[in-house]
Structure 1
């Protein structure tokens, strides 16, 4: 079991939390990002900056039982299908039973934007987001350690 971080858009605090959790649980931490990002990690994979290149690398790396940190709902859906646990940087644990709804919501918002509408971007990250992420990551790690 390993923790894989989609580091292209991952907040630094989340990366630090993942490093600490990996060390505490004797897990490998793997970060993946395009060459445009400078990530300080013991096991960091650099990919090109083509669209979806980071996602493809993560899909190829992830195995059943692994934990992946990403905010990409499409990537989360693929990883859930592989049996990986997936969590967002805000602490949302993605579930197979709710991912279809999230993908439909994403498509509806994209259609609205293509028609000229505007949607809100993400709000500023808070310390509560970090606390929620720590709690959810611990839950996911414990579930995975018990199950796998």
Structure 2
């Protein structure tokens, strides 16, 4: 088992790294070159840099994951592709993507995009909260302890 993180804007990387190290699970941060950092990651953490193009990180993650791995992302499209490969997919706000909820999430995203395209205003995502962090931590710990 490995944990792949869509890392460009992921606010829970520190939780993922900390909790995964407790179980000696490798973490792969996939991020664009525009987020390059010289900061040395702890052992067990690898950073893969990709082009800044749209969905470059998503495509690399899909190429690398195997059944039983974990993906952490807020991207519904990547979540859908991960589910199709038999991967556990988690949202940074602390919920698990499933085959039961992904179609509704993709449909909502599509309808919002169509509304924006026609000039309507749509609500953006709610701000990330401390409760979201704790909800993610609880879910992540639960998943890796069950799967490990």
SS at match of 1:120: coil
Q: Do residues 51 (structure 1) and 54 (structure 2) align?
A: yes
Task: Find the counterpart in structure 2 of residue 140 from structure 1.
Answer: 143
Structure 1 ranges of 4+ moved more than 4 A: none
TM-score, length basis structure 2: 0.92
**Distance in structure 2 (CA, Å) of the matches to 1:29 and 1:133:** 16
Query: Which one has the bigger helix percentage?
Result: 1
The answer for the alignment partner of 2:35 in structure 1 is: 37
Matches within 5 A, 1:11-30: 11=11, 14-30=12-28
CA RMSD of aligned residues (A): 1.2
Report what 2:90 is aligned to.
Answer: 87
Match of 2:73 in 1: 70
Gaps of 5+ in 2: none
Measured after TM superposition, the shift of residue 94 of structure 1 is 0.4
For 1:51 and 1:103, the matched residues in 2 are separated by 18
| Distance in structure 2 (CA, Å) of the matches to 1:143 and 1:73 | 24
TM-score, normalised via structure 1 length? 0.92
CA distance in 1, matches of 2:67, 2:135: 24
Cα distance in 1 for partners of 2:146, 2:125 equals 29
Deviation per CA, 1:79-115, whole angstroms, max 9, x where unpaired?
A: 0010110001101110111111111111111111101
Q: Deviations over 1:17-70 (max 9, x none)?
A: 000111011100100000011354340000011111110000011110001100
In structure 1, stretches of 5+ residues that fail to align are none
